[in-house]
Chain A
Amino acid sequence: MSLYSGAVKRPVMTTLCFVAVLIIGLFSLAKLPIDLFPDIDTNTIMVMTTYEGASAEDIEQNVTRPLENTLNSVEHLKHITSDSKENISIITLEFEYGYDIDVLTNYTRDKLDMIKSYLPDDAENPIIFKFSTDMIPIMLLSVQAEESMPGLYKILDENVANPLARVDGVGSVSITGAPKREIHVYVDPIKLEAYNLSIETISSLIGAENRNIPGGNFDIGSDTYALRVEGEFSDAKQMENIVVSAKNGSIVYLKDVATIDDSLEERAQQAYNNGHKGAMIIVQKQSGANSVEISNKVMEQIPELQKRLPSDVKLGIIVDTSDNIRNTIASLTETVLYALLFVVIVVFGFLGRWRATIIIAITIPISLIASFIYLYATGETLNIISLSALSISIGMVVDDAIVVLENVTTHIERGSAPKQAAVHGTNEVAISVIASTLTLIAVFFPLTLVTGMTGVLFKQLGWMVCIMMIISTVCALTLTPMLCSQMLKLNPTKGKFQQFFFKYIESGLDKIDDGYAKLLNTVVTHKRKSIVICTLIFIGSCFLMKFIGSEFIPTSDNGRIGATLELPIGTRTEIAQDIAKKIHDEWRSKYPEIKVLNYTVGQASSDNTFASMQDNGSHIISMNINLVSVTERDRGIIEITNMMRDDLAHYPELVKTQVNVGGSRGNGMSGQSTLDYEIYGYDFTETDSVAQQVKRILQNTKGIADITISRSDYQPEYQVDFDREKLALYGLNLSTAATYLRNRINGSTASYYREDGEEYDIKVMYAPEHRTSISDIENILVYNAKGEGIRIRDLGKVVERSNPPTIERKDRQRIITVQGVVNGELAMSEIIADVQPKLDALDIPLGIDIELSGSFEDQQDSFSDLGLLAILIIILVYIVMAAQFESYAYPGIIMTSIPFAFTGIVLILWMTGTNLNIMSMIGAIMLIGIVVKNGIVLIDYIQLNRERGMSIRSAVVLGGKSRLRPIVMTALTTILGMVPMAISNGEGAEMWRPMGIAVIGGLTFSTLVTLLFVPAMYCVFAGVGVRRQRRNFGKKLNA
């Protein structure tokens, strides 16, 4: 008993099997987490080695180079980059995508063990650090405060950060902009000198006074008592009365030489939200946790947490990355539903019977929902890629069912009983249904084999579509015949509306059939002319290719803008704050689209994990801007960022500016593409000057903005050059003298002040007014063992120097990167074409190379991966077809329609002004399968006609006429299934729009061509075949 006769004979079993699949699928769907992209494994490892006291060049020579040489042999390494700066070497290993990072980490560790003994003796052991996308914060919360500002850190730490850190999946919670409490003992150096005291004495005295000491136990009568001395300060003011010296009967209190200042740490990052001073809370997730789930939980907590806070402290949201994910997925789900609706309408329009429409339409939800089981079983998420896969498949999963239904209907019309018709009708087409599914699998299965970044993206798409195709075929061979046997009737009665409505549709379709037959007749009569015309069209479209720009991944509008503004190095925080305020005011009034504008200025403290990962410093302003949702504003994010860049050009104080779409720059998935010109060369001055020239060229090029040079400027600083002889003469050494300096300027932590279970630093240092000039430093007294005070100016000189910048290397050569952002006015390929001749004209010293990387490199990699993939797919599809037709020639004829899909894509991209990118490429690859499927249907039927004894010409014309409807119908279901994708405007639509556009253009054009060009080609080849047969027959007769 075959599969289909079994299904028809046991309708209950068949129905319940599919119901079970539906239930498991829906259960999986309910459990599926959502995300923007499929899980991308991290592919970078950092190796950090500290070597205290070594300069950047020493580090480069003695640490970075030996490490690089060894690590270079780790498998699957793509690039090795390094930063060598004072005291530390950071090497970043970038691996090819798709390998197990844990295995690679072990390889790296093995290599490090080998080299360890060759590193300088004082260098610490290299530390391996895995970087992943999980480090990117998933939420930024704003905090506004008025009178609670001084105690804000503690309030937030206890009431917000700690509860949030307990939420499942939250990795770390950091607070920026709320300085910590610190107790300062500001000392007057003149008074100190007068009383012959030093910071060190005061510091140790405070430490000695601020103690609780248990005195043991003692017995009084029948009881035992504990003895304790409690000296810890319960109020900072108590410190004022510490006796620091008692000489000649006069007592000196701490208040006589110093002031006690119970306030906040001196240098801290400040955060401003919408112009109000406040703080920022950064939430990072644990690796592997789902952003949307965590953000939901955090959002649930916020009202609860708000209740615990003082009335003036208000929590708000600056950035919630999951917002964008949710909206994107929602808008894509909408397009999927529209696609479903369109497909059902097309099927109904062509078949004209609602029972048949239901039989066909039911395969859509079954195949789609079944694919959720795969997602759930493999632990994947519902993301852009998996939903695109659904959208692509909707039009294709109905094809098999349509073929089966059509044949069963023919049988019923010939007089079979529905049951018999269902079994025999399915039996007749089963082979060709399986073959056409195989061609599609030949297209989509190779997608699962692609490596690299593209592989990560399209593996899921490949698997999903393959699974849906298989399910839809199984459905077409079991469920569809079963439903046909149960639901279809001979000569069904039609309602009045149906009769009225379909009278026109039917006659319209008949007219189209006749018209097409006439046209086909003409084409076949002038077959050579037609072939020449088509070939010319194809060649013409190749020339059009020149006018189409290319890019890597389209920039999506997620409403987030990040800006990093740099003032000259060493600018004070107050000045940075003034400028930030001015820019804030200007932008708030100019761009009403801004929902939240948050900025931070100043140096971050080292225990803020998030801030210390980013560039920070007193001269750097970082801004986070959140726009209202894309559907609620007229201006796109690219337009707004370009205007912002123009605004910033009017601030001459800013030396470096970056305005980044999507919050960060060039990280592959979101954000605008970057062009990175890498300048390789050893000599600092030469490469610097080349970098400047490249920068100037880019500045004068249209379409590129925010040009930055990676090597930072020399950083000015003061250094104290001690004279070692003088030091020795006074009985001092360099580290003692340096510690004295540090204790006076940075402060020495004397002890901890305890209050309510929290500890705060007590720092003793010079009062701020006594550390403002070089002479203040020169006047610092250093005491030796004899108690003699010697001034710094007598021990050495204070000089101004510049600190050499970080030495960057890539693939074991020194490098400077000049980076620019493609601002959307021109396509990346057009900019490159513009810049390249200017670069070639540069007079570059020998030994210096300029290479292009960044998004362009990614694009080249992916395009060549996809190109190879296309070839593999074409070969596989050919094999499947040749096997089906048992012929080498017919598959070739069918495949002549593929170039026209390319023509169609080029035409539509050119007309809509869309760039060629990875998404439109993927659309193009899919077309290979879809286009070929049309050809199979046509050639198969023509071949059948010939086997039935027709002449070539009438086989072609009649075959074409009878297959026109199925071809147009399947093409329309796919095209209309893509229309919602191509025209959608929701959040994230930029991502999938190019794919929809490419498929629509390519399929429309190639379907038209398939209907005319392929029959003409068939005539030529079949004619040759017939003539050859006749010749052979003639020879045999003569022999």
Chain B
Amino acid sequence: MKAIFIAFDQAYTERIVEMLERSNCRGFTQWEQVLGRGTKTGEPHYGSHAWPSLASSIITFVEDSRVDTVLEKLHEMDVATPKLGLRAFVWDVEKTI
């Protein structure tokens, strides 16, 4: 099992949830509104006057075999609309109940 943390512009929400479903990843946890900005480029998502856009984030735990397909599909989305901003990070799950 691996954990994938996806931070993205709110506008991606529907597309990502749908993508997870299609990739047979049933479980996920979403924070609807989160703030943040990218390390290199990436417009800040602060929900403020100057930076009005907001981000969302999803953490999902998937079988190791699915990680690459999910990341690949996320990368496709990011390349298609780079201005919105989408990043994903993967790490190991040590234990679960």
Contact = CB atoms under 8 A, between A and B. Distances in A.
Interface of A: 411, 414-417, 419-421, 424, 428, 943-944, 947-948
A943 B52 CA distance: 13
A414 B83 contact: yes
Contacts of A424: 10-11, 53-54
B97 interface: no
Interface residues of B, number: 18
Contacts of B73: none
A945 to B, nearest CB: 8
A316 B21 CA distance: 84
19 contacts: A411-B11, A414-B11, A414-B81, A414-B84, A415-B81, A415-B82, A416-B9, A416-B11, A417-B11, A417-B14, A420-B11, A420-B13, A420-B14, A421-B11, A428-B52, A428-B53, A944-B50, A948-B50, A948-B51
A944 B10 CA distance: 21
The 5 residue pairs across chains A and B that have the minimum distance between CB atoms = A415-B81, A947-B50, A416-B11, A428-B52, A420-B11
Contacts of A943: 49
A415 B83 contact: yes
Interface string B49-61: 1111110000000
B51 A417 contact: no
Contacts of A411: 11
Contacts of A419: 14
Interface in B1-27: 9-11, 13-15
A420 B77 CA distance: 15
Interface string B22-39: 000000000000000000
B69 interface: no
Contacts of B14: 417, 419-420
Given A424-B10, A947-B48, A417 B15 contact: yes
A419 B84 CA distance: 15
A523 to B, nearest CB: 25
Contacts of B81: 414-416
A887 to B, nearest CB: 12
Contacts of B49: 943-944, 947
A415 B15 contact: no
Nearest to A424: B10
Contacts of B80: 415
A968 to B, nearest CB: 24
Nearest to B77: A415
Of A414, A415, A417, A420, the most chain B CB neighbours within 10 A belong to: A415
Nearest to B48: A947
Contacts of A420: 10-11, 13-14
A17 B52 CA distance: 30
Contacts of A414: 11, 81, 83-84
A481 to B, nearest CB: 14
Contacts of B48: 947
A262 to B, nearest CB: 95
A416 B50 contact: no
Contacts of B15: 417
B11 A415 contact: yes
Contacts of A947: 48-50
B51 A416 contact: no
Interface in B50-97: 50-54, 80-84
Nearest to A946: B50
A210 to B, nearest CB: 98
A943 B50 CA distance: 8
A947 B44 CA distance: 12
A415 B49 CA distance: 21
A274 B63 CA distance: 104
A975 to B, nearest CB: 30
A940 to B, nearest CB: 8
B71 to A, nearest CB: 19
Given A414-B83, A943-B49, A947-B50, 6 more contacts: A411-B11, A416-B11, A416-B81, A417-B11, A944-B49, A948-B50
Of B11, B15, B53, B84, the most chain A CB neighbours within 10 A belong to: B11
A419 B50 CA distance: 23
A947 B48 CA distance: 10
A938 to B, nearest CB: 15
A424 B10 CA distance: 8
Nearest to B81: A415
A424 to B, nearest CB: 6
B69 to A, nearest CB: 22
A947 B81 CA distance: 25
A485 to B, nearest CB: 12
Nearest to B84: A415
B48 to A, nearest CB: 7
Contacts of B50: 944, 947-948
